[in-house]
């Protein structure tokens, strides 16, 4: 029996339990994966300041994220195709997050629809949207999010054109997965996964059903996405979303100080410092490297969250020290989901929670809301 002690252990188990094409979709990045590697390397390079002889018996990890109470400064990021990692994966993930007391964000490119997930939970979740060419469809998505009582919309801004994800092209990733000679063996060797997905609620994009005209002639997911997203998107369009949406607005994909100031000017409630998990602009800085200048540019006008490479409680603590309100996890969530379903998601969250609690104490702190740069080690 495998003993799970880290997100890396869940990743190893996930790789064995799902087809390569699905695993690579979560695990790999764009082009040469320079930014993907930076996300981890730059987090690991930040040293924490160990403190001793301080009373750390009154630990508190509780906070708020975009106005929502959270048991720790962590949420589950929007991830496409989640229902292909595990049967009804979006529902499984939303339930695990609800039980844990943290936000869950559903992707527009989910397998289960927004209505499917809302019917399965008692606590409303965040919903992620893109600005697509069809603005009427955007209006319809926002209306569905309001009907589902979503307290926040996460507007993803860094996918107006798609970076080339070479492994997706090589693997022929498509939705629903096509049975070909290339992937037949992968699927045959994973009957539990195949049967689960086969008998799930849906096997294609639940939120986009009826909107996939012309998609049948496209060989891969990447090709389909390239036909949908709008390269003309600008800040006026973001303001249009702000005017359409009465709840919290979170803008995801901010890496630059100037963009952070523009985001605040649109009336955003929060921004997510994100490079799309190293899956868009290869050669961009890591999110943790970009975080300080974004925090300075925002200057308290809205909350700052971070995603990209977060795999342990120490990573969350580093982000808090540099000014983030909290973090979102995508890959780490999907590893847990693919490895063990809802139990794996809960295990991933619990691993990060325990690591955060221990690390908080060993830096001499009791409350995540008071963490700042003083916990970082500065060499003489």
> Which residue in 103, 112, 126 sits closest to 81, CA to CA?
112
Question: How confident is the model at residue 217, as a pLDDT?
Answer: 47
49 within 8 A of 347, measured Cβ to Cβ: no
Instruction: Give the predicted TM-score (pTM) of the model.
Output: 0.94
More reliable by pLDDT, 1 or 229: 229
Asked if omega into 61 is within 30° of 0 (cis), the reply is no
User: From CA 270, how far away is CA 60, in angstroms rounded?
Assistant: 23
Look up the domain containing 356 and give its range. Answer: 7-375
Residue 282: strand, helix, or coil = coil
Predicted confidence (pLDDT) per residue in 291-328, tens digit: 999 999 999 999 999 999 999 999 999 999 999 999 99
DSSP labels, 128-148: EE--BS-HHHHHHHHHHHHHT
Question: How confident is the model at residue 229, as a pLDDT?
Answer: 83
Whether 273 is covered by a domain: the verdict is: yes
Question: How confident is the model at residue 175, as a pLDDT?
Answer: 66
Whether 248 is covered by a domain: the verdict is: yes
User: From CA 99, how far away is CA 93, in angstroms rounded?
Assistant: 10
Residue 1: count of CB within 10 angstroms of its CB = 3
- The counts of H helices and E strands in the chain are 16, 10
Whether 35 is covered by a domain: the verdict is: yes
Asked if omega into 176 is within 30° of 0 (cis), the reply is yes
User: Taking all residues of the chain, what is their mean pLDDT, rounded to a whole number?
Assistant: 92
Question: How confident is the model at residue 218, as a pLDDT?
Answer: 46
CATH code, 54: 3.20.20.70
Whether 2 is covered by a domain: the verdict is: no
- pLDDT category of residue 178 using cuts at 50, 70 and 90: low
pLDDT higher than 80, residue 223: no
Whether 96 is covered by a domain: the verdict is: yes
Whether 1 is covered by a domain: the verdict is: no
Tell me the angle at which helices 331-362 and 313-321 cross, rounded to the nearest 10 degrees: 70
pLDDT higher than 70, residue 98: yes
State phi, psi for 111 to the nearest 5 degrees: -85, -55
Q: Could you give the percent of the chain with pLDDT greater than 90?
A: 78
Active site residue 178: no
Q: Which of 9-23, 78-92, 186-200, 207-221 has the lowest mean pLDDT?
A: 207-221
Whether 319 is covered by a domain: the verdict is: yes
> Of the residues 17, 248, 276, 279, which is catalytic?
276
Residue 153: strand, helix, or coil = strand
Whether 284 is covered by a domain: the verdict is: yes
Q: Which of 104-113, 261-270, 371-380 has the lowest mean pLDDT?
A: 371-380
Question: How confident is the model at residue 198, as a pLDDT?
Answer: 83
Question: How confident is the model at residue 124, as a pLDDT?
Answer: 96
What are the structure tokens assigned to 137, written together? 């469809």
Mean pLDDT throughout 186-208? 84
Structurally, how many domains does the chain consist of? 1
Question: How confident is the model at residue 132, as a pLDDT?
Answer: 87
């Amino acid at each position: 029996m495998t003993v799970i002690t880290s997100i890396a252990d869940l990743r190893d188990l996930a790789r064995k339990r799902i087809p390569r094409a699905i695993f690579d979709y979560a695990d790999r990045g764009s082009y040469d994966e320079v930014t993907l590697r930076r996300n981890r390397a730059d987090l690991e390079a930040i040293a924490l300041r160990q403190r001793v002889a301080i009373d750390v018996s009154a630990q508190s990890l509780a906070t708020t994220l975009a106005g929502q109470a959270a048991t720790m400064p962590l949420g589950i990021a929007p991830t496409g195709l989640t229902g292909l990692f595990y049967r009804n994966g979006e529902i499984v993930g939303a339930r695990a997050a609800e039980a844990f007391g943290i936000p869950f964000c559903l992707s527009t490119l989910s397998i289960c629809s927004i209505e499917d997930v809302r019917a399965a939970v008692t606590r409303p979740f965040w919903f992620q949207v893109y600005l697509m060419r069809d603005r009427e469809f955007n209006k319809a998505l926002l209306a569905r999010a309001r009907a589902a009582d979503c307290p926040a919309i996460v507007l993803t801004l860094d996918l107006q054109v798609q970076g080339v994800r070479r492994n997706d092209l090589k693997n022929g990733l498509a939705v629903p997965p096509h049975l070909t000679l290339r992937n037949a063996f992968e699927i045959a060797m994973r009957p539990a996964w195949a049967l689960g997905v086969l008998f799930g609620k849906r096997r294609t994009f639940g939120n986009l059903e009826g909107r996939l005209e012309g998609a049948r002639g496209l060989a891969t997911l990447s090709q389909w996405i390239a036909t949908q997203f709008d390269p003309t998107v600008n800040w006026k369009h973001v303001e249009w979303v702000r005017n359409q949406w009465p709840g919290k607005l979170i803008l995801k994909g901010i890496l630059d100080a100037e963009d952070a100031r523009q985001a605040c000017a649109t009336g955003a409630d929060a921004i997510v410092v994100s490079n799309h998990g190293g899956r868009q602009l290869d050669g961009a800085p890591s999110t943790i490297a970009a975080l300080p200048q974004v925090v300075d540019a925002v200057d308290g006008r809205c909350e700052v969250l971070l995603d990209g490479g977060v795999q342990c409680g120490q990573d969350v603590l580093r982000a808090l020290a540099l000014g983030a309100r909290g973090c979102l996890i995508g890959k780490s969530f999907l590893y847990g989901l693919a490895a063990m379903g809802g139990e794996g998601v809960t295990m991933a969250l619990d691993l990060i929670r325990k690591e955060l609690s221990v690390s908080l104490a060993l830096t001499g702190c009791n409350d995540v809301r008071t963490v700042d740069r003083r916990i970082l080690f500065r060499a003489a």
